[in-house]
Amino acid sequence: MHNVLIRPWIGCLLLAWVCQAHLQAIEPDLPTTEAKTQARILKAAIKVTGRIVGADGQPLPGATAELHGLTVIANTKGIFLFKRVPRTNALLTISAPGYRNEIIALHLALPSRSRQVAMGDIVLTPADGAVRMLFGGDTMFGRRFLDPDTEIPFDQMPLDDPLALIQVSDPLPGTKNVVQFIKPFYQEADFGVVNLETPVTDNPATPHPTKDFVFFTLPGSLPALSDLGVDYVSLGNNHVYDYLDPGVVDTRTHLDNAGIPHSGMGLTPEEAYAAYRVTLGGHPYALLSSCAVSGSQHAVTYVADDTKGGAADARVNADFAGSIERERDAGYIPIMQIHGGIEYTFEPSAFLQGRIDLAAASGAALVVCHHTHVAQGFAKVGDVLAIHNPGNLAIDQARVETMLGLLIRADMDGATVRSVRSTPVYIEDFPPKPVGGRLAGVLLRRIGESSRPFGVLHYPYNNQGYVSLAPNDHTVHDRTVIAKLTVPESGVAVLDLRLYGTGDESLIAARTVSGGSGLGTGQIGRDLLEHGDFEDYDTDPDRLEIERWDVESESRYASVIKPFRGLACVRSTRSSERETDSILPLRNRIRVFGDAIDQPNKDLSLFGYITGQKAGPVSVYARIGASVGDKEFGEVTIYDRAPGSYKWQPFLADIPMPPEDPDLPPPADEQQARAVRVFFRHSPPDKGFGVVGYDELAIVNWEETFDMDAGGAFAAPHPREFIRVTGAPGKYTVSLTFRSFKPATP
């Protein structure tokens, strides 16, 4: 944890110096070449261009584009051009008189052969009185923010820790730093919202007696929310009662003193269900918040009842529906937030969807849910839009599946939702940072996949997610490419769709065109790792960040010298003079698809690309464990590579996950084998100095099969990017059709 917290630019520099000193002692030319190549690429400027149009599709000459502190003006055709900007990811801001601003995260950390980023049309929204609301997910500023080692008892205040992101004696500067990268989005909105999933107190004397996870946020952190642009916080969640009734009193008092409106928690059910009423854009809104996670397994629950305080109880139909009807009948437009569902799942639970249905039937104009810590999709219930979950925003979780979330903006004209956009954020060692590029595309396509069963089209475009609210507000674009595939003697090969599709495209059809004696089955799969391409996608100023892998060693480093694809790969060095191996470990366990709902898919493989220059032997081993806790099920070598020199080539290694054991006691996530970590071992060569490169790694969960010769069809959007092909050895050509969507303009 300490290394995680100090890593930004100081840690990278120290690592570079250590790495360079080690390499110079063995192979003098390698660090020099690496340093020169990095300097050349990072100093090379890149062009950024696009066209700015209004909702009618007409160009907006004179519109302004701002990027990297530079400003350019769109020409008579609405086209803007930055001729030279740094190859550092940044936010692009587009503005024009009479229109709302657009803020877009750009992935500019690209190889030197990429000389220009050409965006699709940027469609501005008229500033015609609609209210722009911005919803962020689960937020707190305690626990690991204050105490990196989480060693302080629940009823004690941590001491200042120089490695902590937030200092107890002065929380405000650190809290502002945590949220600094999302501030432009909240500043641009008219009404900013977060789910504040924490009591606010500086007296942690009354922790919940039986909860495993209890935390608090210091009152001194609250001004950072106001500075960010948060206008209201929802409190109806399963952590606001972590410090019982005294915590309820402290939380409400400190929020009131900070001038931050709230609802969803109180000392009585009536107080908890009291709405926050506010007039926005001339329309009266009522903000309600409730919790469907009651804590009924404890003697002390999390929800308010006649004997104690807590969150508004979403399970009580009369209170839940009645609170919405009360606000509607009083002339207000109700917006209900619901905390519920199953943690770490991609779709809402049946009970939560039932709450959404009831909220819509009771008169809610918009429903916003949270709790699962994983971003989910959207739903339509009649004419009412529901946001299933934006995921985390600022929280200290270390599970890799919780590290991608959304900022969701909804433009509302009274009770009518006019438009909805989502911006991906990566929670990088706890602070949220907007992201672009492939990482944004994968998340947004997954959100589209989760939204489709609930009647909503959500699709990626220009590093944003668009929610289609009418059949004619988008256009469909299909593109077919021909891929060449060689099936080796093993009879198994992988089609890597990342090499053929863009970040906005999803495969909708695949079939054999010609070759060999016919292919057999294809099996489509999704990457659960998401951080195996070693690219830097977030919009902080740090460069060449390698996420979720431990490269803090003299023998493992980010390299820009001839990666397989993109800007960077990871290289591992080893000298025959060394006796130990160089090991590249994945920092997080990866949980199989379906684990959270006890429907685990254990058909798992490691796929990627490897190259060697006089390399020693390489092996990859997998450490298999439960999805939570310390239980492990052994370690197995899944891939071996002989020493030598070889160009970039793909490799496929199945991960033998133990089957479910019906005799193990619950809970399943602590008992069954459902998670894996992988480690890349580079042993010393027999003589000289060896280098191994790894790139485009993926841990693939394989899903449905189809006949390759007859062809397979898939609904878009979705994030699945691999096909495992089984057939007779030989060379084949395969037709791949990809689909993308764009906003329609007249």
Domain ranges for the chain: 2-41+529-703, 44-123, 131-469, 478-518+708-743
Over 70: is that where the pLDDT of 128 sits? yes
> Please, which pLDDT band fits residue 654 given cuts at 50, 70 and 90?
very high
Element (H, E) at 46: strand 46-53
Report the pLDDT averaged over residues 32-56: 91
> Please, which pLDDT band fits residue 91 given cuts at 50, 70 and 90?
very high
Over 70: is that where the pLDDT of 23 sits? no
Q: What three-state secondary structure class fits 9?
A: helix
> Please, which pLDDT band fits residue 520 given cuts at 50, 70 and 90?
confident
Q: Note the pLDDT tens digit of each residue in 440-485.
A: 999 999 999 999 999 999 999 999 999 999 999 999 999 999 999 9
Q: Which CATH architecture has domain 44-123?
A: Sandwich (2.60)
* Fold equal for 44-123 and 131-469: no
Determine the pLDDT at residue 6.
31
> Please, which pLDDT band fits residue 12 given cuts at 50, 70 and 90?
very low
Q: Note the pLDDT tens digit of each residue in 563-614.
A: 999 999 999 999 999 889 999 999 999 999 999 999 999 999 999 999 999 9
CA angle (128 as vertex; 125, 129 as ends), nearest 5: 120
Q: Who contacts 538 (Cβ-Cβ below 8 Å, separation ≥6)?
A: 89, 181, 426, 428, 433, 434, 435, 545
Over 60: is that where the pLDDT of 21 sits? no
Over 90: is that where the pLDDT of 73 sits? yes
Element (H, E) at 353: helix 350-362
Determine the pLDDT at residue 1.
31
Report the pLDDT averaged over residues 103-125: 96
What predicted TM-score, i.e. pTM, was given to this entire model?
Answer: 0.94
Q: Which residue, 592, 664, 599, is CA-closest to 625?
A: 592
Report the pLDDT averaged over residues 374-379: 98
CATH of 2-41+529-703, one of 2.40.50.840, 1.10.1740.10, 2.60.120.260, 2.60.120.330: 2.60.120.260
Q: For helices 29-43 and 12-26, what crossing angle results, to 10°?
A: 140
Q: Note the pLDDT tens digit of each residue in 169-198.
A: 999 999 999 999 999 999 999 999 999 999
Determine the pLDDT at residue 24.
41
Q: What DSSP state is assigned to residue 438? A: H
Mean of pLDDT over the chain: 94
The alpha carbon of 9 is separated from its chain's Cα centroid by a whole number of angstroms, namely 22
Determine the pLDDT at residue 518.
74
d(CA 124, CA 127) in angstroms, rounded, equals 9
Report the pLDDT averaged over residues 39-51: 93
> Please, which pLDDT band fits residue 684 given cuts at 50, 70 and 90?
very high
CATH of 131-469, one of 3.30.70.580, 3.60.21.10, 3.40.50.300, 1.20.140.10: 3.60.21.10
Q: What type of residue sits at position 738?
A: F
CA angle (419 as vertex; 414, 367 as ends), nearest 5: 65
Q: Who contacts 111 (Cβ-Cβ below 8 Å, separation ≥6)?
A: 41, 560, 563, 566, 567
Determine the pLDDT at residue 515.
80
Over 50: is that where the pLDDT of 525 sits? yes
Element (H, E) at 263: strand 262-263
Report the pLDDT averaged over residues 119-133: 94
d(CA 657, CA 620) in angstroms, rounded, equals 15
Determine the pLDDT at residue 519.
82
**731, burial (CB in 10 Å: exposed 0-12, middle 13-18, buried 19+):** exposed
Over 60: is that where the pLDDT of 17 sits? no
Q: Note the pLDDT tens digit of each residue in 207-234.
A: 999 999 999 999 999 999 999 999 999 9
Q: Note the pLDDT tens digit of each residue in 251-298.
A: 999 999 999 999 999 999 999 999 999 999 999 999 999 999 999 999
Q: Note the pLDDT tens digit of each residue in 227-244.
A: 999 999 999 999 999 999
Q: For helices 350-362 and 317-329, what crossing angle results, to 10°?
A: 30
Residue 520, token pair as written in the block: 């057999």
Residue 460, token pair as written in the block: 């990626």
Report the pLDDT averaged over residues 624-645: 96
Determine the pLDDT at residue 550.
94
Count of helix runs (H) and strand runs (E) in the chain: 12, 43
Over 80: is that where the pLDDT of 33 sits? yes
Determine the pLDDT at residue 517.
66
